[in-house]
Structure formats: structure tokens, C-alpha cells
């Protein structure tokens, strides 16, 4: 497969997953506002913090309100991580490889982009934001289903899967980190019903509330952190994402599992193996924020290694 094609299909999945993650956390925050006591329901700044784009937001908007944050995260063309920007980038990548992807994939992605960038959609989103963000989530899931059911599960599919899983793992760490540092208004709220609402919102933002309750029952911060980081079976846990990412990477290269022949396999193997043997006592001993910060750096290094291995231009020898 040409590296140009692999790069495009990899980034299609990353951009769609990023758009869906944004829609997910905004929708959960909208629902959380209905449950929180009056005066605690205006926490919009953390949503921008999750994306890592707060400096860009701060430079262009006077304050973080529902209207400004939704505009920035959903419809701001100058924000490269907004929903509309992500879908535009995904569509452009898909346009260049239409001969590789299925016609159903192209049709769904093209309709998805055209729907979101329509000015009428923006007006409807302002009057009924939950409907808009839930529709983005549903359409993202539809596109994932179409990809899995119409694209041959060969190299192209594995590159698509790698992009989706790496983006998903990164967003799970960011959601957890932002909750730990920013969402709780007062230290005195720890252990109160307000705190439980916030932690439940974290689980809902990754569609993990019901699965978590089946395993752990009571909402508890330490157990939620363990669930999102180390659970081997939940599709949005970091551990699950990296394990499946490793399977796709080795399927592409043909390298036996447990061995490495390139920087991507080596770096991913290091991070995945570390999670295999990490305990929550070690995580909290280091500090949850510090651990998540280090993990995000490692995930970025995995992405850089994938780029260097498969996509970077190399001089002819």
C-alpha cells in the first residue's frame, strides 16, 4: 500500500473519532447541567481543556459560556479540532483515496460533512444542542459500522483501526485528567452527591456508565480511573485500545507479537507492556495527573513513531 493512501485512511479515522469525542463530552455536559445544583451548572471551560485548545479559545473568545464553547468546539473553522474542521479534513482525505475506500464509506462521510457545515444545522444546534451532538455521535457510529462491514479487513482496514484506537486512547486520558483537576468546584465536594454526578458524567462521556456498574457497582473515583485506564475488555479503556492497536500494527508488518522490527512496534510495545503490569497503587503513588500527563506524552510518541515508520518521506539511498 502507498504510504500516502495509508496516511489518508489512518487520519480519516482519527478525525472522525476526534469529532465524535467532542460531541460526546459536550452532550454529557449538557445533560449534567440538568442534574447539578443551580450555580454549579456553568462549567464549560473544562470542555475546551480536554481538547488542549484553551489558549486558542482564550485568544478569540471573552469567556467560556455555553454559546461560545459550543461555537468553538463544533463550528469554528479556525479551530482545527472543531467538529466541522475534523470532518472537513476527514472528507478531504477520503476524497483523495476514493478508489481505496468503499462507495458507502464515501457517501456517509460526505453527507456527514455537508450536514454539519450547513448554516441551518448551526442554527438548529443553537436552539437544540443535545439533538445536534447526539446526531453527530450516531452518525460517527454509523460510519464506523459501514467501514467495518464494507472495507476488506486488510492493510487499509488495519490503518483505519490504528487511527481510531490511538485517538480514542488519547481522549480517554484527557477526559479523566480534566475531571480530576478541573470539574470539581470545591475540595469539600469530594465524596458528595455532586462529586458522584461528576464521576458518573465521566463514565457517560465514554459510554461506560452501564459497563462500569456491572463490574464495580458503586461509583468510586479510584475504580473509575482503573476502569478507564487498565480494563482489558472495555472498548474505550486505554489498555484495550493499545492492545488492539498492537494487533493491527503487527498484522500490517507481519512481525510476530512480542517482537519489534521498527520504531512504531518498539514504542507501542513499551507503552502497552507497561500498562500490562501497572497497578492503581503505582498510579496514585505517582499521582493520577502526573501519570496521565506522562501517558499522554507516550501516546503522542506512539503517534510520532507510526508517522516515522509508515508515512514520513525518506530519501532514496
Name the range with the highest mean pLDDT among 33-47, 57-71, 215-229, 245-259: 245-259
Cα dihedral 251, 16, 44, 25 sign? negative
Q: How far apart are CA 129 and CA 124, in angstroms?
A: 7
Q: What is the pLDDT of residues 293-316, one digit of tens each?
A: 999 999 999 999 999 999 986 655
pLDDT given for residue 39 in this prediction: 52
Q: Residues 101-157: pLDDT tens digits? A: 999 999 999 999 999 999 999 999 988 999 999 999 999 999 999 999 999 999 999
Percent of the chain residues past pLDDT 90, beyond the cut: 68
Tell me the pLDDT band of 37, cut-offs 50, 70 and 90: low
The angle subtended at Cα 64 by Cα 63 and Cα 65, nearest 5°, is 105
Between residues 239 and 288, which one has the greater pLDDT? 239
Burial 174-200 (b: 16+ CB within 10 A, else e): bbbbbbbeebbeeeebeeeebbebbbb
Per-residue pLDDT tens digits for 187-240: 455 556 667 787 888 898 888 999 999 999 888 888 999 999 999 999 999 999
> In sequence order, which residues have a C-beta less than 8 Å from that of residue 313 and are 6 or more positions away?
none
pLDDT digits (tens, 9 = 90+) for 50-86: 788 889 999 999 888 889 999 999 999 999 999 999 9
Average pLDDT over residues 230-252: 96
- Residue ranges covered by each domain of the chain: 3-311
pLDDT value of position 263:
95
The model's confidence at residue 264, banded by pLDDT at 50, 70 and 90, is very high
- Tell me the mean pLDDT in the region 18-33: 87
pTM above 0.85, yes or no: yes
Amino acid at each position: 500500500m502507498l504510504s500516502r493512501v495509508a496516511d489518508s485512511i489512518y487520519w480519516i479515522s482519527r478525525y472522525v473519532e476526534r469529532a465524535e469525542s467532542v460531541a460526546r463530552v459536550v452532550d454529557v455536559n449538557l445533560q449534567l447541567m440538568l442534574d447539578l445544583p443551580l450555580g454549579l451548572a456553568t462549567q464549560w471551560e473544562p470542555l475546551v481543556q480536554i481538547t488542549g485548545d484553551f489558549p486558542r479559545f482564550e485568544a478569540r473568545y471573552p469567556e467560556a459560556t455555553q454559546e461560545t464553547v459550543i461555537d468553538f468546539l463544533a463550528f469554528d473553522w479556525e479551530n482545527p479540532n472543531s467538529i466541522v474542521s475534523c470532518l472537513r479534513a476527514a472528507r478531504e482525505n477520503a476524497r483523495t483515496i476514493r478508489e481505496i475506500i468503499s462507495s458507502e464509506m464515501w457517501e456517509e462521510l460526505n453527507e456527514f460533512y455537508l450536514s454539519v457545515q450547513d448554516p441551518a444545522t448551526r442554527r438548529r444546534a443553537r436552539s437544540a444542542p443535545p439533538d445536534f451532538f447526539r446526531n453527530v455521535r450516531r452518525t460517527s457510529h454509523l460510519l464506523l459500522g459501514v467501514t467495518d462491514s464494507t472495507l476488506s479487513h486488510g492493510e487499509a482496514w488495519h490503518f483505519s483501526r490504528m487511527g481510531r484506537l490511538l485517538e480514542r486512547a488519547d481522549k480517554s486520558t484527557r477526559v479523566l485528567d480534566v475531571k480530576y483537576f478541573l470539574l470539581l468546584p470545591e475540595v469539600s465536594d469530594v465524596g458528595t452527591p455532586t462529586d458522584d454526578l461528576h464521576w458518573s458524567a465521566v463514565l457517560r462521556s465514554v459510554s461506560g456508565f452501564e459497563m462500569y456498574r456491572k463490574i464495580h457497582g458503586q461509583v468510586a473515583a479510584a475504580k473509575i480511573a482503573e476502569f478507564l485506564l487498565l480494563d482489558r475488555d472495555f472498548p474505550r479503556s486505554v489498555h484495550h485500545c493499545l492492545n488492539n492497536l498492537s494487533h493491527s500494527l503487527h498484522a500490517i508488518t507481519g512481525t510476530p507479537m512480542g517482537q519489534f522490527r521498527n520504531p512504531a512496534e518498539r514504542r507501542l510495545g513499551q507503552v502497552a507492556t507497561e500498562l500490562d503490569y501497572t497497578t492503581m497503587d503505582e498510579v496514585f503513588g505517582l499521582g493520577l495527573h502526573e501519570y496521565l500527563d506522562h501517558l499522554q506524552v507516550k501516546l503522542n510518541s506512539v503517534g510520532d513513531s507510526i508517522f516515522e515508520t509508515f508515512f514520513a518521506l525518506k530519501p532514496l539511498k
